[in-house]
Structure 1
């Protein structure tokens, strides 16, 4: 492509865009830092060094007390993902244009469910559910499930809309009912997507479930909050290492299962 000099109008437009961009960045920086106490910021390196020195070595004697909360965290992520997938599948079929009973009535409601689920963080769901159900693992499981509906539902309904229509037409040509078309033409095409998305969501939920205990929804977060509240930094270090190990193991399992599926 040949090089062409910008016109005067283009130069002015580019200059104004840079000015507006810099002004926006400057305004955003002022908004973000209006309540900042810069003396604390200047003292931050010393505070980090002080806290870091208190965090090591980890309190290895605390290991036996975090095994049960870590198991709860794993169960919250797994059961929450399973429940979320079970609820997301029908929502996805109702949201897809080629499978919904009504594009004007049912599809908007299904899309609203998906958007609502994706708009609210699992920590917010946990806060609401702890207030309703009380503290415990059940609130964490349902919070993870409600958050997972939107993620799985969105990716699944998009996959349903992109299926090969020739297979659907072939099944319909045999005189199959709508249910049979779903079972033999649509479900087999979307099953790999559902498996991959569910696995990916479980991997994400492992991370999210580690912090739900901070609001009383069970898991290792309960121990983490208690350790932070009492400034037991060696225990905090051990808990963080346990969370890191859990995430690494979940990554390894996810990679293995994906490789098997692909």
Structure 2
């Protein structure tokens, strides 16, 4: 038998066993999706669903044109919304920065106690939505922008703390070793070896979080935490759809402006 007559092995991307497991996985995903869909829609009144386009068209016809004369009553709540986002972000930064250094494995003074505690606080604050924080704080402090500021701050701790401590852990060890070789103290190592490396990330994270908080603070008034959301809630309760449309347009414009400002600031400082 010649060498040429020997058939070369045929390459396959997956073995028959892997292909069977892949199809079984897809089948399991489809079955899970069908089961979840049945669970979620078992109490759905489908007559309302089929009538939804007509209801949406009716509300839209009532909402146009927006009531532009109502704008004079929105300037103060809009200013409150911006203040809630800004002050909440600053307060969140003040609490998140120490937590980030305690949570980072290369800067924490205690891996057994302080690091797990800091990580727990970061995870806990990130797991609870700002609207839920606002509900709790309104129940404790009463309605007003203070509850909104604290809700934004608590929500920001987890976001800023997580991204910042990951940036701290990713710092170049060679720069830290160079500062250490000069006989620097731990504070000097932190100041000259780590902080300069994480400052660009810190600026970007802070501005990005402020941009997100502008969006979130706009709805906190729905639960009594102040801002333009309170005006939105009042207009919805009165079925004043032209006012609702105007408020939605104002929120949209505010978010667009904050996005532009955020992009410009990040481009300037990073």
TM-score strictly above 0.5: yes
RMSD over aligned Cα atoms: 1.3
In structure 2, C-alpha distance between the alignment counterparts of 1:142 and 1:60, rounded to whole Å: 32
Structural mapping, 1:49-128, within 5 Å: 49-128=57-136
In structure 1, C-alpha distance between the alignment counterparts of 2:47 and 2:84, rounded to whole Å: 41
Equivalent residue pairs, number: 261
User: Which protein shows a greater Rg?
Assistant: 2
Flag as ranges the 4+ runs of structure 1 deviating above 6 A: none
1:159-218 deviation digits (Å, cap 9, x = unpaired): 111111122122222222111111111111111110000000000000000000000000
* Pair 1:164–1:44, CA change in 2 (3 A): same
1:205-247 deviation digits (Å, cap 9, x = unpaired): 0000000000000000000000000000000000000000000
Shift of 1:7: 4.8
Shift of 1:9: 3.3
Residue 246 of structure 2 is matched in structure 1 by: 238
In structure 2, C-alpha distance between the alignment counterparts of 1:13 and 1:177, rounded to whole Å: 57
Shift of 1:8: 4.3
Which runs of no fewer than 5 residues in structure 2 stay unpaired?
Answer: 1-9
Which runs of no fewer than 5 residues in structure 1 stay unpaired?
Answer: none
Structural mapping, 1:1-262, within 5 Å: 3-4=11-12, 7-262=15-270
1:109-138 deviation digits (Å, cap 9, x = unpaired): 000000001000000110111111111011
- TM-score norm. by structure 1 comes to 0.96
* Pair 1:9–1:211, CA change in 2 (3 A): same
